[in-house]
Amino acid sequence: MSKQTHSFQAEVAQLLHLVTHALYSNKEIFLRELVSNASDACDKLRFEALNNTGLYEDQPQLEVRVSFDQAARTLTIADNGIGMSQQEAIDHLGTIAKSGTKDFMGKLSGDQQSDAQLIGQFGVGFYSGYIVADKITVESRRAGLPAEDGVRWVSGGTGDFEVEQITRAQRGTSVTLHLRDDADEYLNAWKIKQIIGKYSDHISLPILMEKEEWKDGELLVPGDENGGRQPGGMVKTGEWETVNQASALWTRPKKDVTEEQYQEFYRAISHDSENPLTWAHNRVEGNAEYTQLLFIPAKAPFDLWNRDKKAGVKLYVKRVFIMDDAEALLPSYLRFVKGVIDSADLPLNVSRELLQESRDVKLIREGSTKRVLSMLEDLAKHDQHAAPAADAAAADAAAADAVTDVVSDDDKAKEGKYSAFYAEFGAVLKEGLGEDFGNRERLAKLLRFASTTSDAANVSFAEYKARMKPGQDAIYYITADTLSAAKNSPQLEVFKKKGIEVLLMTDRVDEWALNYLTEFDGTPLQSVAKGAVDLGDLQDEAEKKAAEEAAETFKPLLAKLKEALKDKADDVRVTTRLVDSPACLVVKDDAMSNQLARLLKQAGQSAPEVKPVLEVNAEHPLVKKLDGSVHFHDLAHILFDQALLAEGGLPEDPAAYVKRVNALLV
Ligand code: ADP
């Protein structure tokens, strides 16, 4: 193969431009990305070699070597991992294969700071080299291919790249960065070691650098190389030393890992620029033996709602990397969790199909789900608002007592974190009600909602129950598209009048999720937009009597309304739930709510046609005027269409509605 020139895929060209501009303030991450690629390449080799030990050739010790050449101004990251064939170099270094690339590009705002964060999340990988280099040369040979089938890939990181065949005895890949003029600092062993320590200490492979010596034989003391002497006085010794800890972070005992190391590890595996909210690191023994290191992020990724989104947990078996996005390890409603699970029981050659069926995986999945839920419960417990008042008083009393250290610094650090978590991931968590029956009760306790007494989504079912009125026997809620639509819904009028709290649910998933939760701790959940209102003991005798009488005297009018609206309404009845509004729509107890039906239609799915029930307020002047009016037919339709508008719907025939209203106005 002679030298060929290829163009970058359009998205790569765009990304490259952004990388060099937006990530400028955090240059050093390029080294993390390239070392991480090298480490992945070694993981891949180890995995493929499980079935073909020949791939190791004569080098079973996998490693990464970092070296630099001050005269040539180059920095090289070399690995003896799986390597790339010519075609792989063209495909992998010229295109972005990741799902969601388009999504990602669409989210970019042009604002450098926020884009830089987003790019970090997306993981720029190889292309980050161009932050510090104006030319990159990659030489590689795939393990198992003959030496003549090596490849050299060269590009200045703008429109195109060149590829040619080379002979390369060494298996694996070396990436050589031709540094920009302002990137001198990376031609310094101390600086490189410092960055490796910061970002790559958890990498399980040894990262080697050539030892340096002063010309007079005095060894370089880290951090002290500027003691009046110039780095030019250093000579390479030809001896290589390991500069990282080279033991996978999760395999170390908890007490040997610092908070910063956990955070750095999280940032490396998640590409998140923020620290995680919390994490749990445990060795589990018993029916299944595994180590879990699970993180809960502080911010939702841009593709949380993307249906092809990869799961965030990496699977290792006895420290050998197996796969990146093992969705079998956690249920999909916990897809925001990042981390590592290292099993001692699974076979090394486990496939995705096998994972789905494995009994060990089932145990890991159950154990990890419970672990995540208890992390969340712990955060909720320490969130000021979420803690029941009685506990807070007890904690105050105990804190006053110098002997008992109830509120540790650690606990204080958790304050406010649950609300932060919930704002980002609450809606995803709700999917669990339908997905994970076994943990439904635990999940229900973790849910928070806005209510007629709190605009912030921080009311738990338990808190609601504690505030229930004497005689109230249900947890009332309403679903709507927005908070203000929910708050102003006519269906709430009687509840407001009587001072009964109603939970306001405005996440798209609420309606669906609530199908799976009919009660909380023995108290039924009742939508105020479903079925007839039965306030039970909350209504006094006089109110009940008035309602019965109204139903009786309105019978003939209701019959006429029903006839006039027979194509629109399933039934027409008198209600006591309204105070100020003339009418509202409700659905029968077992029917799909109007809101859910609308959502399904918007999503292009078929929803069963359910005709709602029109409820009228016998006390309202408009309703009183209806009987005997010459405009009865028009008024009846206006009444219905307005009830629909009030809950965020649209009349079936908006033009007809406008015509009717205008006729009356004139
Ligand atoms: P990512 O690593 O997130 O997939 P990159 O842009 O960093 O994205 O790399 C793209 C692809 O190039 C990788 O998926 C891998 O197939 C290949 N690649 C990069 N670096 C190496 C390497 N050191 N050895 C082998 N393949 C590599």
Contact predicate 577/533, CB 8 Å? yes
- Binding site membership of 22 for ligand 1 (Cβ less than 6 Å): no
Q: What is the mean pLDDT of residues 168-177?
A: 97
The predicted structure's pLDDT at residue 467: 94
- The closest of 312, 330, 279, 337 to 435, measured between CA atoms, is 330
The predicted structure's pLDDT at residue 229: 52
3-class DSSP assignment, residue 251: helix
Tell me what the pLDDT averaged over the chain comes to: 85
- For residue 503, count CB atoms less than 10 angstroms from its CB and return exposed for 0-12, middle for 13-18, buried for 19 or more: buried
- Binding site membership of 514 for ligand 1 (Cβ less than 6 Å): no
Which range in 190-199, 207-216, 539-548 is most confidently predicted, on average pLDDT? 190-199
Percent of the chain with pLDDT over 70: 86
| pLDDT, tens digit (0-9, with 9 covering 90-100), for 589-626 | 766 666 677 667 766 777 677 788 899 988 899 888 88
Quick one: three-class SS letters along 98-143? Answer: CCCHHHHHHHCCCCHHHHHHHHHHHCCHHHHHHHCEEEEEEEEECC
What residue owns the CA closest to ligand 1's atom 3?
125
3-class DSSP assignment, residue 480: coil
Specify which residues 163 forms β-bridges with. Answer: 4, 153
- Binding site membership of 271 for ligand 1 (Cβ less than 6 Å): no
- Find how far residue 136's CA is from the centre of its chain: 34
Distance 36 CA to ligand 1 centre (A): 9
Best residue among 33, 55, 85, 92 to mutate for probing ligand 1, ranked by most atoms within 8 Å of CB: 92
- The closest of 345, 386, 337 to 362, measured between CA atoms, is 345
pLDDT band at 45 (very low <50, low <70, confident <90, very high): very high
Distance 548 CA to ligand 1 centre (A): 74
| pLDDT, tens digit (0-9, with 9 covering 90-100), for 371-402 | 999 999 999 998 865 444 444 444 444 443 33
Contact predicate 574/615, CB 8 Å? yes
- Binding site membership of 276 for ligand 1 (Cβ less than 6 Å): no
Strands, sheet with 172-179, edge to edge from the N-terminal-most edge strand: 4-7, 160-166, 150-155, 133-141, 172-179, 74-79, 64-69, 207-214, 234-242
Q: What is the mean pLDDT of residues 345-358?
A: 81
Counting atoms of ligand 1 from 1, which one is nearest the CA of 36?
A: 2
Q: What is the β-pairing status of strands 571-575 and 519-520?
A: unpaired
- Binding site membership of 41 for ligand 1 (Cβ less than 6 Å): yes
Distance 130 CA to ligand 1 centre (A): 15
- Binding site membership of 358 for ligand 1 (Cβ less than 6 Å): no
- Binding site membership of 84 for ligand 1 (Cβ less than 6 Å): yes
Percent of the chain with pLDDT over 90: 46
Distance 331 CA to ligand 1 centre (A): 28
- Show the domains of the chain with their CATH numbers: 4-241 (3.30.565.10), 249-428 (3.30.230.80), 444-537 (3.40.50.11260), 540-590+605-665 (1.20.120.790)
- Binding site membership of 129 for ligand 1 (Cβ less than 6 Å): no
**pLDDT at residue 132 greater than cutoff 70:** yes
Distance 69 CA to ligand 1 centre (A): 24
Out of 182-196, 317-331, 352-366, 612-626, pick the least confident.
317-331
Q: What is the mean pLDDT of residues 455-484?
A: 91
**pLDDT at residue 479 greater than cutoff 50:** yes
Separation between Cα atoms, residue 226 and residue 231, nearest integer Å: 8
What residue owns the CA closest to ligand 1's atom 1?
125
Distance 334 CA to ligand 1 centre (A): 27
The predicted structure's pLDDT at residue 384: 61
What residue owns the CA closest to ligand 1's atom 4?
125
Counting atoms of ligand 1 from 1, which one is nearest the CA of 83?
A: 25
Instruction: Tell which wins on pLDDT, 165 or 312.
Output: 165
Distance 356 CA to ligand 1 centre (A): 27
pTM reported for the whole predicted model:
0.75
Separation between Cα atoms, residue 250 and residue 327, nearest integer Å: 20
Counting atoms of ligand 1 from 1, which one is nearest the CA of 93?
A: 12
Best residue among 126, 130, 207 to mutate for probing ligand 1, ranked by most atoms within 8 Å of CB: 126
Distance 34 CA to ligand 1 centre (A): 9
- Binding site membership of 81 for ligand 1 (Cβ less than 6 Å): yes
Instruction: Tell which wins on pLDDT, 497 or 444.
Output: 444
- The closest of 619, 535, 610, 623 to 571, measured between CA atoms, is 610
pLDDT band at 354 (very low <50, low <70, confident <90, very high): confident
- Binding site membership of 79 for ligand 1 (Cβ less than 6 Å): yes
Counting atoms of ligand 1 from 1, which one is nearest the CA of 124?
A: 6
- Binding site membership of 125 for ligand 1 (Cβ less than 6 Å): yes
The predicted structure's pLDDT at residue 389: 43
**pLDDT at residue 16 greater than cutoff 90:** no
- Binding site membership of 16 for ligand 1 (Cβ less than 6 Å): no
The predicted structure's pLDDT at residue 216: 60
What residue owns the CA closest to ligand 1's atom 21?
37
**pLDDT at residue 658 greater than cutoff 90:** yes
- Binding site membership of 94 for ligand 1 (Cβ less than 6 Å): no
- Binding site membership of 173 for ligand 1 (Cβ less than 6 Å): yes
Q: What is the mean pLDDT of residues 314-318?
A: 88
The predicted structure's pLDDT at residue 400: 38
| pLDDT, tens digit (0-9, with 9 covering 90-100), for 237-267 | 889 999 998 888 999 999 999 999 999 899 8
The predicted structure's pLDDT at residue 223: 52
- Binding site membership of 123 for ligand 1 (Cβ less than 6 Å): yes
- Binding site membership of 38 for ligand 1 (Cβ less than 6 Å): yes
Counting atoms of ligand 1 from 1, which one is nearest the CA of 44?
A: 25
- Binding site membership of 82 for ligand 1 (Cβ less than 6 Å): yes
Distance 302 CA to ligand 1 centre (A): 22
The predicted structure's pLDDT at residue 397: 41
Distance 183 CA to ligand 1 centre (A): 23
Distance 96 CA to ligand 1 centre (A): 10
| pLDDT, tens digit (0-9, with 9 covering 90-100), for 274-285 | 899 999 999 999
Counting atoms of ligand 1 from 1, which one is nearest the CA of 33?
A: 7
| pLDDT, tens digit (0-9, with 9 covering 90-100), for 552-591 | 888 889 999 999 999 999 999 888 888 889 999 888 776 6
DSSP string, 50-91: TS-GGGGTT--S--EEEEEETTTTEEEEEE-SS---HHHHHH
**pLDDT at residue 405 greater than cutoff 80:** no
Out of 86-90, 210-214, 253-257, 499-503, pick the least confident.
210-214
The predicted structure's pLDDT at residue 141: 97
Other beta carbons less than 10 A from residue 314's beta carbon:
21
- Binding site membership of 339 for ligand 1 (Cβ less than 6 Å): no
Q: What is the mean pLDDT of residues 6-16?
A: 85
Counting atoms of ligand 1 from 1, which one is nearest the CA of 175?
A: 23
Angle at CA of residue 210, ends 204 and 211, nearest 5° = 110
| pLDDT, tens digit (0-9, with 9 covering 90-100), for 418-463 | 999 999 999 999 999 999 999 999 999 999 999 999 888 899 999 9
**pLDDT at residue 631 greater than cutoff 90:** no
Counting atoms of ligand 1 from 1, which one is nearest the CA of 81?
A: 24
The predicted structure's pLDDT at residue 392: 43
